[in-house]
Chain A
Amino acid sequence: MPLRPFALSFASVALVASLGAQEPAPGVRIGLTYAPGTRPGLYVLPLRGAGADSVRAIVARDLDHGDRIAVIAPDGGVIPSGPLNYALYQRLGAAAVLQMTMPGDGSLQVALHELASSTVRNSQRFVLPQPALGPAWRLAVHRVADEVERWVTGQQGVAASRVLFVRGGTLWQVDADGENAMPVPGVGAALGPAWHPNGTVIAWTELGDGGSRILMRDLTSGRTSVMSGRAAANLSPAFAPDGSQLAYAAGSDGTDILVRPLDGEAGSFAITAGQGSTNAQPSFSPDGRRVAFTTSRLGRNEIYISDSDGANPELLTTSGFGDQLYRSDPSWSPDGRAVAFSTQIEGRFQVATIALRDRSVKQHTSEGINEDPSWAPDARHLVLTSNRGGSRQLWVLDTESGRMRQLTRGPVARMAAWGPRLPAAR
């Protein structure tokens, strides 16, 4: 009897196995041993327990969304008892097997079997907060997936993170896998959200009758503070990577970028001297020493970078690409190597990245209108606004493979900000 489900399982992965079958190749040691230039195959075994199917589905989906691992998780299958048949899983195209068990005490025991060495390479027990399937439980499972991705590839995943965005004129948030989309409570007319590096504080632009102002909220305590001064327009907040400062655009006749400490306005200073031009959308480099921003000082919007004190401003986007009419929405990658931005190409906005090393530009989108990119913490994925599905929604782009997946559905969603990996307490 046990052979029948196993046979079904085997049949369902036969195609994957045939695609994944490859000649033995010299391996590289990153997390696992697998052929260079390929995505290592990971067989995710089924498990039993409260919410077991959901655990497996969430982990498999998160690993797939990471775009670094070829996930093999066929429906059904048997839960193996005793030692694993490593040779069998190797024939199915896997480089490793993920084995998860639920002891019944609310925890999840996870083991990663490396097939090349026929050993358990990593093993860890994770606590899953109750009730099962609740937001905290889901976040804990996402964290498991992120850790498994680190075991396999050496790079931690970003499933345990959230995206802020604007829907219906107010702020919403959604998990990185597209689940749990909900409004941020107590926020009025809002634009341009930003995450604090600690993942527990956010800032945004609140629109009012007399103009706009910058608000900051501690999501844990619910305390909200006004961060902007008396100017009519206050826009596009961004936190410094060390979390000690907030940059935003302010002004009445044009805007300049101000930087202020979080604990008081007294130390605020301008890092642009626009003299009537618009300077906005600051984005810090990961070391906090430089800032990318949009400016109209050339008569059209372009991306500049400068030191974080405003010195050494430098035009970033002059390379011969696009319509050279409007570049905006800079987002400095968390690894510091590139800046993503929106650019007009043949009259439509598209998302591109520019490498800071050699200023080479890579256009990532061409279908529909795509704009407002924001980097994921892994410096590989971007969340952006696209109308490729008919209405403006958030999509996640893998900048390595070009793969796109839709993150939000329903009413129009835009102006996304991908937050940091969330701390375990939330």
Chain B
Amino acid sequence: MRLVRRSRLLLAPVVLVTAGACFATRADLRIVQGDVLAVRDSVRAARLAAERRDSLARVATDSALARVVAALVTVGDSVVSIRGATQRMDGALREDLHTIRQQLITIQELTGQSQRRIQELRADLESDAADRASTPVVPSAAADTTRGTTTVGAAGGAGTPTGPGPAQLYQLGQDQLRRGSNTAARGAFTTLLTQHPQSDLAPDALYGIAETFTAEGNGVRADSVYNLVATRYPQSERAPIALYKRATAYRLVGQAERAQSLYRQIVETYPNSESARLAQGFLTSRRP
């Protein structure tokens, strides 16, 4: 009870002040109301101005965005178009490259075939030349007998009979090798090398000798002759094949490291050869 009484004593001054305020005049109230209205109007005006500014800005922003979007769409279309064109060009290029590659391979193959034909033709020509050279001199039908002399016919040759040419010898060696007459084949190849050491068929003849040893199962001699092919004629097409043959022989007898070394040599020295592609398979364990 004592607490309630003390609270009442404390609230008394507050009540008195509040009651005093109620005694302000009406004029004072009007002034305050006017001020409030003025403030309200100014706030409304400011808000309208701000809204107007925002609207203008939004319009400007929307317009800019629309322009950006349009530009992006245009760029996108261009990108799509360019990508399509690029793809088409890429496809066309790939096709062209593929066609060129195929044509190159075909040319290579046909060149190989042509070389084979040319080689046969050379052998035939050499054979014909040898035949002509060994044909005995025959007096012409139009021999001038008035002076007791004879005129040699045009077909007659004045030279002494010559031996077989390199193409003939190579063809002979190949035929004998195919027939399994390894000694005879080796004889033909050896004759080619001794009588025509500068012939373009010399690397092939040396390779042929190695093949005869392989056919006889004489791996040691074959290996040494294959090695000769690669060292004596390193620019020859036979060189990478000879190295590949050596590598294969070492692989088959279990000398894997020597084989790998030779496979690496083929890949590094003759990267574009068929032997290099085969050798690569042994280096990378290409096994599907």
Contacts and interface: CB of A to CB of B under 8 A. Distances in A.
Contacts of A312: 241
Contacts of B63: none
Nearest to B279: A273
Interface stretch (B16-24, B103-111, B121-129, B150-158): B103-111
Contacts, number: 60
A92 to B, nearest CB: 42
A269 B106 contact: no
Nearest to A272: B278
Contacts of B275: 311
A275 B277 contact: yes
Interface stretch (A115-123, A313-321, A341-349, A417-425): A313-321
B281 A269 contact: yes
A289 B215 contact: yes
Interface string A250-278: 11100110100000000011111101000
Contacts of A297: 105
B102 interface: yes
A230 B285 CA distance: 14
Nearest to A310: B278
A294 to B, nearest CB: 15
B244 interface: yes
B288 A256 contact: yes
A35 interface: no
A289 to B, nearest CB: 7
A310 B278 CA distance: 7
A318 B280 CA distance: 29
Q: Is the interface of A mostly helix, strand, loop or mixed?
A: loop
Contact of B288 (A258, A271, A289): A258
Interface string A275-308: 1000000000000010000000111000000000
Contacts of B106: 298-299
A3 B37 CA distance: 156
A318 to B, nearest CB: 6
A250 B286 CA distance: 11
Contact of A311 (B102, B245, B251, B288): B245
Interface residues of A, number: 30
Given A229-B287, A298-B102, A315 B245 contact: no
21 contacts: A229-B287, A231-B288, A268-B287, A269-B287, A270-B278, A272-B278, A273-B277, A275-B277, A289-B215, A297-B105, A309-B245, A311-B241, A311-B245, A311-B275, A311-B278, A313-B274, A315-B113, A318-B109, A318-B113, A356-B178, A357-B178
Contacts of A273: 274, 277-278, 280-281
Contacts of B281: 269-270, 273
A288 B286 CA distance: 23
B215 A229 contact: no
Given A229-B288, A270-B281, A315 B112 contact: yes
Given A229-B288, A269-B282, A273-B274, A309 B244 contact: yes
Q: Is the interface of B mostly helix, strand, loop or mixed?
A: helix
What are the 5 A-B residue pairs with the smallest beta carbon separation, nearest first?
A273-B277, A231-B288, A299-B102, A250-B288, A251-B288
A270 B286 contact: yes
A318 B112 CA distance: 11
A315 B109 contact: yes
Interface string B262-288: 000000000000110110111000111
B105 to A, nearest CB: 6
Query: In this complex, which of A255, A256, A275, A356 has the most chain B Cβ atoms within 10 angstroms of its Cβ?
Result: A256
A339 to B, nearest CB: 14
A314 B113 CA distance: 9
Nearest to B278: A310
B168 interface: no
Contacts of B274: 273, 311, 313
A275 B278 CA distance: 11
Interface in B143-195: 178
Nearest to B110: A318
A256 B178 CA distance: 27
B29 to A, nearest CB: 97
B288 A309 contact: no
Nearest to A252: B288
A315 B105 CA distance: 11
B287 A258 contact: yes
Contacts of B248: 309, 311
Given A271-B278, A298-B102, 6 more contacts: A229-B288, A269-B282, A299-B106, A310-B278, A311-B241, A311-B274
A231 B287 CA distance: 8
Contacts of A289: 215
Contacts of B277: 273, 275
Contacts of B178: 356-357
A230 to B, nearest CB: 8
A24 B178 CA distance: 39
A314 B286 CA distance: 23
A5 B282 CA distance: 74
Nearest to A265: B287
A299 B97 CA distance: 13
Interface in A345-363: 356-357
